[in-house]
Structure 1
Amino acid sequence: MKKEIICTICPIGCTIIVEGDVNNIFSISGNQCSRGLDFSKNEFLHPARILTTSVKVENSSTPLLPVRSNKPIPKELIMDCMKLIKDVKVTVPIKSKDIIISNICDSGADIIATACID
Structure 2
Amino acid sequence: MNKIVCVQCPVGCKIKFEQQDGKIIKIDGNRCPRGIAYLHDELKEPRRIVPTSVKVINGVFPLVSVKTSKPVPKKYISELMNEIKKISVQAPVKSGDVILKNVFGTGADIIATRTVPQKQGSN
Measured at CA, do residues 23 and 56 of structure 1 come closer, stay the same or move farther in structure 2, by a change above 3 Å? Answer: farther
Match of 2:95 in 1: 96
Give per-residue Cα distances to partners, 1:40-63, cap 9 Å, x unaligned.
111221210001000001122310
Looking at structure 2, the residues matched to 94 and 79 of structure 1 have their Cα atoms a distance apart, in angstroms, of: 25
**Aligned residue-pair number:** 117
CA RMSD of aligned residues (A): 1.9
Match of 2:56 in 1: 57
Rg larger for: 2
TM-score by length of 1: 0.87
Looking at structure 2, the residues matched to 21 and 49 of structure 1 have their Cα atoms a distance apart, in angstroms, of: 26
Q: Which runs of 5+ in 1 are unaligned?
A: none
Same amino acid, percent of matched pairs: 43
Match of 1:106 in 2: 105
- Any runs of at least 4 consecutive aligned residues in structure 1 with deviations exceeding 6 A, and if so which? none
TM-score by length of 2: 0.84
Q: Which runs of 5+ in 2 are unaligned?
A: 118-123
